[in-house]
Structure 1
Amino acid sequence: MRLDGKVAVVTGGGSGIGAATARLLAEAGARVAVIDRDGPAAGAVAAETEGLARVSDVGAPEAVAADAAAIVDAFGGIDVLVTAAGFSVGGTVETTSPSDWDAVFRAHVGGTWLWAREAVPSMRARGGGSIVTIASQLALAGGRGNSAYIAAKGAVLSLTRTMALDFAGDRIRVNAVVPGAIETPLLARSFKRAADPAAARAASQARHAMKRLGQPEEVARAILYLASDAASFTTGAALPVEGGWLSA
């Protein structure tokens, strides 16, 4: 699966799934723009991939527009968009503050919307493209104590499907990956919120049919597939990469 000559934007590309994806897309021949609010992390991944780093807020319309314009100016356009930026705060609907709820939706749903909004015109002008969003197995199976994150990931799935229909005529494919629990900084912070982090980690491992956590590179390989011409007849799909969580 090659992306030679393609330009790929990866939000949340400074760590976790985003960083693994940026590296893999670069290995596949893409020129990569790494978007992250952590400047040193974005810069490090961009240096590894010989790409472009932008330190930015994916939920800010003006920032996203400026970043997209800079990428188009530097690389000539956008062919692939991977929206991996996001975070979780934990909590039920009763304990989650309005500010935390809004911030989680702003990053996951708003960031996906705003970046797609900027990328689609460039993809259309270049004859097509691929958008890959990041959902979660929890959006399909449900989960406890993480209501804002799970609700936001459900919204990302719905947004993915409607964008797939809206832009199919422009040869823009839009798909989601549905990861299970993946060894990322986000997951580590989630475990730390538990009363017994070690027990929370063990329970998560046991919940997967494969009895282990996933690695970012395993999700990145699925993203590469969806981004590439190997998935040329795939749009509106939600591809599970969750170690059997949904079957167990």
Structure 2
Amino acid sequence: MRGGQSMEQAYAIYYGDGMAGPCFNACAKVPPHGVGGGYPGSGGSFHPVRESNVANLIDENVLPTIDRLDGTAEKVRSKLTHIKLAPGDVFVAVSGGGAGLGDPLLRDSQKVVNDIVSGYITPGHARAIYGVSLNGDNTLDEAATAKQREEIRHQRIGGSPKAELKAPPIIGVSLTREDGRWSCASCDERLAEGDGNWRDGAVTRETEITERYEELEMKVRERLQAPYVVTREHFCPSCAASLAVDIATDDLEQLPSAQPLGAGVAA
């Protein structure tokens, strides 16, 4: 399932003499995590546009939009103790997007097409993350979609998958811990002992986050000092299902598996 949409918004000083205060963004460089093989959402961001034409647009009864806005966009840090806005300045903010639930390759292709047509996602993002391609008339290209999804599965594990990619019994549950072992919920491939780390049995792809987001046509701010933020995509070695996408810093070792605590745990 696709995560919720983010929102782009803008605030202008029009009736007052100015405005000042602190600003912070909690997901500029570390975006929200997906669940059950779902991918993270886009990061949030904000910036002021100085000496804009917003007052002229309002006086001319023209709806101010980003495309109609002139002025100087100022790049600022994601956490500020103080920022000033003067008349004519516009504060532009983009909230972080909701993360995904479940492997994006298992999403219904027609729902992805509907999202493209509605303007919720770009065709490039749909092709890169969902493996969905369109015909020239914005209808689903079934043959190209099937081919693209197989290519993505091949890229995930660096070879041809041995098992079919199936939807797990419960959406968003990509792993099972039963009979003393961790397994892929899509094909039942054994990944690790129950007290071990299932990530050790997965195929893992680690990429600097801005590089990976550029490939997926998503947005996130780059961290300019160490440790750097990375995506760690974990895939089933048998069916190439997306098991989890971790967001971490490059100085961290493999994240541990969750483990039940206490008595009475059948697994």
TM-score grouping bracket, smaller chain normalisation: under 0.3
Q: Compute the TM-score of the two structures, normalised by the length of structure 2.
A: 0.23
The structure with the greater share of residues assigned to helix is 1
Q: Compute the TM-score of the two structures, normalised by the length of structure 1.
A: 0.25
The structure with the greater share of residues assigned to strand is 2
Q: From the CA coordinates, give the structure whose radius of gyration is larger.
A: 2
